[in-house]
Amino acid sequence: MNHRRALRAAVTIAVTGALAAGMTMTLTSTASAGTTLRASAAEKGRYFGAAVATGKLSTSVYATILNREFNSVVAENEMKWDATEPQQGRFSYTGGDRLVSHAQANGMSVRGHALLWHQQQPGWAQGMSGSALRNAAINHVTQVATHFRGKIHSWDVVNEAFADGGSGGRRDSNLQRTGNDWIEAAFRAARAADPGAKLCYNDYNTDGINAKSTGIYNMVRDFKSRGVPIDCVGFQSHLGTSLASDYQANLQRFADLGVDVQITELDVMTGGNQANIFGAVTRACMNVSRCTGITVWGVRDCDSWRGSDNALLFDCNGNKKAAYTNVLNALNAGPAIPTDPPTDPPTDPPTDPPTTPPPGTGGCSASVSLNSWTGGFVATVKVTAGSAGTSGWNVGVTLASGASVTNTWSATATGSTGAVRFANVDYNGRLGAGQVTEFGFQGTGSGAGITPTCTAS
């Protein structure tokens, strides 16, 4: 989230009407009542955090509230790409290090925000494309996650990569144009760099079950089925004057995939319903055992990117608002995270093909989609297993005269011009009947006329 950008459609919630009954019920407390947000959340095995601008840590009222009420922090801007790598290959961690030091001195965990995002890229990255951008992005993930290794509770590895509207598809961006697997590549790089951190995908306008949240759900489900390392999903929750009636159900369906869910950038437009919405969001999180924490995007109303919306829990003088009381009461009334949470469900739901494929002729098929520009292209190839499944696959393409493969991901390439063959890598060769995987490659010249053929083993 960027406090400098204009207030977006995320503020006006798509679903209006009464709050869901399951989100407004009062639960019996199972522990002593905490008197601060951080104490109450900690009693229930969760965190309650705030977004911080490190320049405000020297403001007495700001720092007093932060240290008293919150046990988690996230940098508003200090860990984004433009701040951490202002010049290619030259990294600056001053702001991020200051926030981590403050957190460690005050018993707080740290959320990392955000490794890759289509906004707030440094100028040098904005001017890149194709394999050069892909390599620079993965290097950025690796270097930043390595620097903060062991100090970050959860990383927003990728932020806001899905489009608004009814398509449920990816947002067009320079990162997306490097190939549809760029998100997967970022998560794999982050896991290698910091194995102990939770790896999250984060987005806005996902507060109910809608096309955008379902597109993300399908991506997470695919990642879990193929062993892509994703641990959590962040729901920004920049809210207006109402709340989606299926807010809690949406959190729950992601949790049922075997990932944690987190409210990552909560703020609510001021008005008669503000306190009720803050309380309802908190109850929804408490009612989902895999909802591990809530972060509000700022400390006081005058610190908020939303200006006159007065969208936070404290006024500018540091006084607690009615919304604060509702949140604290919801934290105290909610259940704790179970000490022995249920085992993650199978990566594939029951509707997927059985483990033993039915008898058939076997084989596989392949289809391609192209993103082309003058002088180059990115091809994303979808491989679909036949009725007997695969233990490996091989895809052949014939490139147009003058075209050449310059970069490949999620496959290994043999040859670079003319007839080129692509074989599976270790994690995507074994497919059940009808299951799908993707790989991609980038090339110079024209991608026109590419027709992939697939052979299974």
Instruction: Kindly list the catalytic residues.
Output: 265
Tell me how far apart the alpha carbons of residues 234 and 286 are, in angstroms, rounded to a whole number.
15
365 forms beta bridges with 384
Q: In Å, how far are 15, 310, 396 from 22, measured between CA atoms? A: 16, 27, 53
Whether the ω angle into residue 114 lies within 30 degrees of 0, i.e. cis, is yes
| Residue listed under structure tokens 């739901």 | 349
Tell me how far apart the alpha carbons of residues 412 and 37 are, in angstroms, rounded to a whole number.
51
Q: Is 21 helix (H, G, I), strand (E, B) or coil?
A: helix
CB 286 within 8 A of CB 30: no
| Residue listed under structure tokens 């994303």 | 380
Question: Quick one: which of 369, 430, 370, 365 has its CA closest to 395?
Answer: 365
Cβ neighbours of 103 (radius 10 Å): 23
Tell me how far apart the alpha carbons of residues 76 and 299 are, in angstroms, rounded to a whole number.
11
Which amino acid type is present at position 429?
Answer: G
Q: What is the pairing mode between strands 232-235 and 260-268?
A: parallel
Q: Is the dihedral of CA 443, 445, 447, 452 positive or negative?
A: negative
Cβ neighbours of 453 (radius 10 Å): 13
Structure tokens at 161: 């990569």
CB 200 within 8 A of CB 232: yes
Tell me how far apart the alpha carbons of residues 229 and 153 are, in angstroms, rounded to a whole number.
15
Structure tokens at 199: 């790896």
What residues have CB less than 8 Å from 340, skipping those under 6 apart? none
Tell me how far apart the alpha carbons of residues 49 and 342 are, in angstroms, rounded to a whole number.
26
